[in-house]
């Protein structure tokens, strides 16, 4: 025959879906069982003390749990007050628990899409310096990678026999045009055509207008030609080495203008519908705490990265001081303005155990009702409620975990009191077997047990959750045990009592 504490332990285990996931800090003060708060009227009868962490463990006397927290007293009437759909809590207890409530309201839900990203060079501001003829590098003016350069700044000087020959050809043709200025039309036209073709050849080799003007004026071919930077920026790659021979089209320098950069953000697949071109973006970099860089989405890529289930999104932003360095990691926030007003509650009002979402509704002074809800979109501070709560209803935003724990305890004890003796006997199942292993991290054990007639189970080996890790304290693996267990939720079997056989 089960004792009263054992029945209570089983009842709390049945409510473990609501209690087991909550880590609650109970008040350290234990009220007296002899006198009430006003000191005049006799106090209610003290029934027992329950575990402050919601574990199925009670005590007839005051005690502390392994973390040093006092067990919570349960008085007569507290476990079965009110109707079936609510829980009544005294004003004194509400004050001690720190309960706060505010109304559900109709509002536009502002939310943000968060993504990780990285700073990259703007591809449209990258320049490659090459030569269109064969030659040799005579001198380097910029000789290190990462060196900043300005537009028109000399980079290097080259010597090329082809270049010298083309200059001389143009100089001779230009003099010929001048000397035949008084000659017949055909001779002068032929010489002018030769001069124009020589000049065009030099222009095709990217000879600057200043150098061509100096060549036409003096008629002297220069031995070397100076290459200059096409833009302001930094040298991101340098292959030019003094004295080396280069071929036409060979890349000698690469220069990037980083006054504007890209941030490539990886947006998760479920959020991509909320991302649009032209949308503002906020960028945060770990190197600059508290500083926010602002940009806009320039392009949403049409492909999805299969291994991460993300879509690349390109954000353009200015970088006038050069703070943003290529390859820096970035935290990207894409604010979303709310559209039509919806019923919202503070995110702190939602109790999410994984299997269910519950909101505690304050029906009137001191009376509370846990309601399962269906949630919609989540914002920064609020969450949309699709079903379960209406606009204007008061929802608990602080100490709601404690109230939910009280409600589950009440429901479990009420069910035990209303059950018939024959049905109560089927709540727990009994088995004998061998303790194979103990997993302290997950508070579970592996047991090879014999047949369980109440469930029509054959002998098998399976895992059980421990209602309290203390059940296997001092019981080593390999010990023959007799134990009692319940089904806390579908597929989750919890051992509520365990006894080791002495050999």
**Rounded to 5°, angle at Cα 130 from 126 and 132:** 140
Q: 364: closest CA among 91, 38, 78, 37? A: 91
Residue that the structure tokens 């890209």 belong to: 262
What is the pLDDT at residue 378? 77
Tokens for 139? 């001198």
Residue 54 CB-half CA count within 13 A: 23
pLDDT exceeds cutoff 80 at 213: no
The Cα 293–Cα 322 span in angstroms is 12
What backbone torsions phi and psi does residue 362 show, to the nearest 5 degrees?
-90, 105
- Are 431 and 483 in contact, with CB atoms under 8 Å apart? yes
Q: How high does pLDDT run on average in the chain?
A: 79
pLDDT exceeds cutoff 60 at 84: no
The Cα 109–Cα 114 span in angstroms is 16
What is the pLDDT at residue 42? 58
Exposed/middle/buried for residue 174 (C-beta within 10 Å: 0-12, 13-18, 19+): buried
**Is the full-model pTM beyond 0.75?**
no
DSSP reduced 3-state for 480: strand
What is the pLDDT at residue 34? 46
Tokens for 500? 């080791």
pLDDT exceeds cutoff 50 at 45: yes
When pLDDT is averaged across residues 369-375 and rounded to a whole number, the result is 87
Higher pLDDT, 467 or 399: 467
The Cα 376–Cα 389 span in angstroms is 12
Altogether, the residues listed in the chain come to a count of 503
pLDDT exceeds cutoff 80 at 81: no
For residue 55, what pLDDT band results from cuts at 50, 70 and 90?
low
What backbone torsions phi and psi does residue 393 show, to the nearest 5 degrees?
-70, 140
Helix (H), strand (E) counts: the chain: 8, 32
CA dihedral 200, 202, 205, 210 (to 10 degrees): -110
DSSP states of 432-469 as a string? EEEEEEEETTTTEEEEEE--BGGGTB-SEEEEEEES-G
Tokens for 115? 């993504």
- % of residues, the chain, pLDDT over 90: 31
What is the pLDDT at residue 440? 84
When pLDDT is averaged across residues 310-334 and rounded to a whole number, the result is 93
DSSP states of 148-189 as a string? EE-TT-EEEEEE-HHHHHHHHHHHHHHHHHHHTTTS-HHHHH
Segment among 61-75, 192-206, 321-335, 414-428 with least mean pLDDT = 414-428
Residue that the structure tokens 């040298």 belong to: 235
Going from the N-terminus, what domains does the chain have, and what CATH number goes with each?
1-99+399-418 (no CATH), 128-256 (2.40.50.100), 428-500 (2.40.50.320)
Exposed/middle/buried for residue 79 (C-beta within 10 Å: 0-12, 13-18, 19+): buried
Q: 134: closest CA among 213, 225, 208? A: 225
The Cα 408–Cα 8 span in angstroms is 12
Instruction: Compute CA 462 distance to the chain's CA centroid, rounded to the nearest angstrom.
Output: 36
What is the pLDDT at residue 339? 67
The Cα 112–Cα 132 span in angstroms is 51
For residue 496, what pLDDT band results from cuts at 50, 70 and 90?
confident
Can you give 262-327 as a three-state secondary structure string? EEEEEEEHHHHHHCCCCCEEEEECCCCCCCEEEEEEEEECCCCECCCCEEEEEEEEECCCCCCCCC
Residue that the structure tokens 């009842």 belong to: 11
When pLDDT is averaged across residues 461-489 and rounded to a whole number, the result is 88
What is the pLDDT at residue 1? 39
What is the pLDDT at residue 324? 94
Question: What are the pLDDT digits (tens) for 326-366?
Answer: 999 999 998 876 667 888 888 888 888 767 788 888 887 77
Higher pLDDT, 440 or 296: 296
Higher pLDDT, 202 or 446: 446
Strand extents, DSSP E, 8-45: none
What is the pLDDT at residue 242? 93
Question: What are the pLDDT digits (tens) for 280-294?
Answer: 999 999 999 989 999
Question: What are the pLDDT digits (tens) for 96-134?
Answer: 778 888 898 888 877 788 899 999 999 999 999 998 889
What is the pLDDT at residue 2? 41
């Amino acid at each position: 025959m089960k004792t009263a504490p054992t029945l209570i332990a089983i009842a709390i285990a049945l409510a473990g879906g609501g209690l087991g996931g909550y880590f609650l800090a109970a008040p350290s003060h234990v009220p007296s069982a002899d006198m009430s708060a006003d000191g005049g009227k006799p106090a209610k009868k003290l029934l027992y003390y329950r575990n402050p962490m919601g574990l199925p463990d009670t005590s007839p006397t005051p005690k502390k749990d392994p973390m040093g927290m006092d067990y919570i007293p349960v008085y007569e009437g507290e476990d079965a007050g009110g109707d079936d759909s609510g829980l009544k809590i005294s004003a004194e207890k509400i004050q001690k628990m720190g309960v706060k409530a505010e109304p559900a309201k109709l509002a536009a839900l502002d939310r943000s899409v968060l993504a990780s990203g990285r700073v990259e060079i703007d591809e449209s501001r990258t320049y490659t310096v090459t030569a269109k003829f064969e030659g040799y590098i005579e001198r380097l003016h910029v000789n290190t990678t990462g060196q900043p350069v300005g537009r028109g700044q000399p980079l290097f000087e080259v010597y090329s026999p082809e270049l010298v020959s083309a200059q001389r050809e143009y100089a001779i043709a230009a003099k010929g045009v001048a000397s035949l200025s008084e000659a017949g039309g055909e001779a002068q036209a032929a010489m002018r055509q030769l001069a124009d073709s020589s000049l065009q050849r030099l222009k095709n080799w990217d000879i600057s207008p200043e150098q061509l003007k100096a060549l036409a004026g003096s008629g002297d071919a220069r031995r070397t030609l100076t290459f200059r930077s096409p833009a302001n920026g930094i040298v991101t790659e340098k292959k030019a080495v003094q004295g080396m021979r280069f071929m036409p089209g060979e890349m000698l320098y690469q220069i990037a203008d980083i006054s504007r950069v890209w941030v490539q953000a990886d947006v998760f697949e479920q959020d991509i519908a909320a991302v649009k071109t032209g949308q503002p973006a906020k960028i945060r970099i770990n190197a600059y705490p508290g500083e926010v860089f602002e940009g806009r989405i320039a392009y949403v890529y049409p492909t999805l990265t299969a291994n991460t289930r993300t879509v690349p999104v390109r954000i353009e932003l200015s970088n006038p001081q050069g703070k943003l360095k290529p390859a820096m990691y970035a935290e990207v926030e894409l604010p979303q303005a709310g559209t039509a007003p919806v019923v919202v509650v503070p995110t702190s009002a939602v109790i999410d155990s994984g299997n269910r979402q519950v909101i505690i509704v304050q029906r009137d002074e001191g009376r509370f009702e846990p309601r399962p809800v269906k949630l919609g979109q989540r914002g920064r501070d609020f969450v949309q409620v699709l079903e379960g709560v209406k606009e204007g209803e008061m929802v608990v935003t602080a100490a709601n975990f404690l109230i939910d724990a009280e409600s589950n305890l009440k429901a479990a004890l009420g069910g035990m009191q209303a059950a018939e003796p024959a049905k109560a006997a089927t709540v727990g199942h009994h088995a004998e077997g061998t303790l194979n292993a103990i997993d302290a991290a997950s508070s579970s054990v592996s047991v090879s047990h014999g047949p369980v007639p109440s469930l029509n189970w054959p002998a098998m080996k399976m895992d059980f959750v421990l209602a309290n890790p203390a059940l296997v304290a001092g019981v080593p693996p390999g010990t023959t045990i007799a134990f009692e267990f319940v089904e806390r939720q579908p597929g989750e079997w919890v051992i509520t009592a365990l006894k080791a056989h002495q050999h």
